[in-house]
A and B are shown apart, each in its own frame.
Chain A
Amino acid sequence: MVRFPASSPFSPAFWRSPLRGPWFTSVLGLVLLAGITTLFVTGLLSYAAYNPDVSPVNDKTPDKGVLGFYLFPWPTDPPWLYRLTQGVHVTLGITLIPVLLAKLWSVVPKLFVLPPVRSVAHALERISLLLLVGGALFEFTTGVLNVQLDYLFPGSFYPLHFYGAWVFFAAFLTHAALRVPAAVRVVRERRAAEGSGGSRRTEGRDDRAAADGRVPAGRQGSVDGDGPGDQQDLAGSDGLEELVAPDPAEPTVSRRGALAFVGGGSLLLFATTAGQSFDGPVRGTALLAPHGGPEPGDGPGGFQINKTAASRGISAAETSEEVWRLVVRGRAGTVRLSRADLLRLPQHDADLPIACVEGWSTSDQWWRGVRLRDLATLAGHEQGEVPDVMVESLQRHGAFRRAALRANQVRDPRSLLALDVNGEPLLPDHGWPARIIVPAAPGVLNTKWVARMTFGDLA
């Protein structure tokens, strides 16, 4: 076999960081195992929250086939459900970025392993790893760009992020099945060794020695062979020890220190992002997140806006009291209602949050308006058999200018066609003259500037 000089990345001697080794990679891997599983589950929940099976207008991935096997009617309780699941999805995703980068850094020498393909199984694993790394970066990148409204990616966000997640997760599951047992063993053995007072030499001891510059870090993987655990370790770590630099540079930080550094990066991202799921001073701490910083205004309407009226082409002329009419269709035919007509119907209150797919949310706002189920009754549907509803906005463009709500959402007494918020009539940016607000529903289903509502079974 050709021997490469140490200046070539194909030579093991090229990789000199004393930090790389089984323990460092295993800890990062296990954090990602828990984190990415949570991201995948909350992501799937978000798709379910859109109620894609109620109507094609809610479904941006209609070709999903069996990938939608788990779909279920999204509940209206607890009302902060989507706020929680999507807040976790986006905030956790951003928080995990340093862990992902560190994990990729810790295994990068393996990219240059020679020969590049040793066998069929090895070739398959390398293809799977490309899907794993490409998939992870694709998912994180599309997500991070989308929450910043930077639609650079080649297509609509929904299919890219949803199908991309499945491609990634297929590789992720395989990787987990192959690697988690070894990672768990590496972490356990080190902990056991520390607990027993270090009768065996471990990577951890070596860390500290390495940090002091006494012992080249990581050498022990091949040098030590005394303990009974060693054989097991080698048998289980499945090539992980190849990560240890054969000729490590003098350390500038211990492995623990490096891990704390990665954790510090996560903490910083978390601290400058998480606030966008809360109001007031807490939101102010989210200095770089798209919906952090000061609120967009004062007073009753001074809460976060996803899309302003101006950006959607909603003019004052078409929303004036004289011109605007709500068209309600149902079993009994068509009813046209002015805002004054709506105000004469029984008014109800609901304290509900707004929670966006982009991960930000507001705390409860005090909404007041007409119950959706009362409008269903007005359209000729009996109290006991409230159907689905298709809601259409005045806006002419946008993926969700029409959105469908399921019967369980229409039936909920807190689901309103809101006319007021926080004691004042809605502002144009919050959906004047009337908007939908439904507990636990994603923001895009809470249609603003409502023009038409059609009750009936949509599925």
Chain B
Amino acid sequence: MRRRAVRRHTSRPWTAGRPAPGGALRILLFACSFALTGYAGVRLLAGDWFGVALWFVGAAVVHDFVLLPLYALADRAVTGVLDAGGRRKWTMYVRVPAALSGLLLLVWFPLISGRVAERYESATGMPGDVFLGRWLLLTAGLFAGSALLLALRLRRVAKARPPAVH
């Protein structure tokens, strides 16, 4: 019984009838944190306050409601296709190279897409149109490496399989 009480109390610390222990401390901690947020925040918003606030909140919204659902859906689609073919175990062989390639594209999108190519060339004296090609080659390498690993695994499985199964 005692354990049960502890459990109900702690897994939902704020629903208990009386304030959770440390609740006052938490509120003090938030107050302190928000004071610092406010001090830096008025400086952050001193220029284009609307634009900055939009970026700050928009970053969280775009991540949580656009980027994450998109890659989760893409992942579900891949898993679904492989599942339907009875190849669920192969998921990682597709997921890993696709996600790594997508990650590189996400991080280096301005360079890969060429949207800053002109400014980049003018500033650094180096060609700005090389990044798309490099990214495509890396992507090809990632998928090729994954295919190679899968082929090796399939061969190993085939060899290990007892002849009776054939």
Q: Which residues of A contact B (CB under 8 A)?
A: 61, 63-67, 94, 97-98, 101, 104-105, 108, 111, 118-122, 124-125, 127-128, 130-131, 133-135, 137-138, 141, 144-145, 148-150, 153-156, 159-160, 163-164, 166-167, 170-171, 173-174, 177-178, 225, 231, 234-235, 238-239, 241-242, 250, 252-253, 257, 261, 264-265, 268-269, 272, 287-291, 293, 296-297, 304-308, 310-311, 429
Contact = CB atoms under 8 A, between A and B. Distances in A.
A100 B74 CA distance: 20
Given A61-B43, A253-B91, A287-B134, 10 more contacts: A67-B40, A94-B107, A101-B103, A148-B108, A148-B116, A159-B43, A269-B107, A288-B135, A288-B138, A308-B122
Contact of B11 (A125, A241, A306): A241
A297 B11 CA distance: 62
Contacts of A166: 36, 39-40, 44
B40 A290 contact: no
Contact of A105 (B23, B34, B68): B68
Interface size class of B (residues with CB under 8 A): 35 or more
Q: Which 9 A-B pairs have the closest CB atoms?
A: A154-B51, A166-B40, A137-B59, A163-B44, A150-B110, A170-B36, A252-B91, A134-B60, A124-B30
B87 to A, nearest CB: 10
A348 B116 CA distance: 39
Contact of A288 (B10, B104, B124): B104
A137 B48 CA distance: 19
Given A130-B60, A163-B41, A170 B33 contact: yes
Interface of B: 3, 6-7, 10-15, 20, 23, 26-27, 29-30, 32-34, 36-37, 39-41, 43-44, 46-48, 51-52, 54-57, 59-60, 63-64, 68, 72, 79, 88-89, 91-92, 95-96, 99-100, 103-104, 106-108, 110-112, 115-116, 119-120, 122-126, 130-131, 134-135, 138
B96 A264 contact: yes
A287 B138 contact: yes
Contact of B7 (A97, A134, A231): A231
A287 B41 CA distance: 37
22 contacts: A61-B43, A63-B46, A67-B40, A108-B68, A121-B23, A121-B26, A128-B34, A138-B55, A141-B59, A149-B120, A150-B116, A153-B55, A155-B51, A159-B46, A163-B44, A164-B44, A170-B33, A234-B10, A252-B79, A269-B104, A287-B134, A429-B125
Contacts, number: 214
B104 A268 contact: yes
A154 B54 CA distance: 9
Contact of A293 (B11, B88, B126): B126
B48 A155 contact: yes
B29 A174 contact: yes
Contacts of B3: 225, 231
A170 B38 CA distance: 10
Nearest to B9: A235
A239 B138 CA distance: 41
A235 B120 contact: no
A104 B130 CA distance: 32
Contacts of A65: 39, 43
A313 to B, nearest CB: 11
Nearest to B26: A121
Nearest to A111: B64
A134 B33 CA distance: 15
B103 A311 contact: no
A134 B40 contact: no
A252 B76 CA distance: 11
Given A159-B46, A235-B10, A296-B126, A121 B55 contact: no
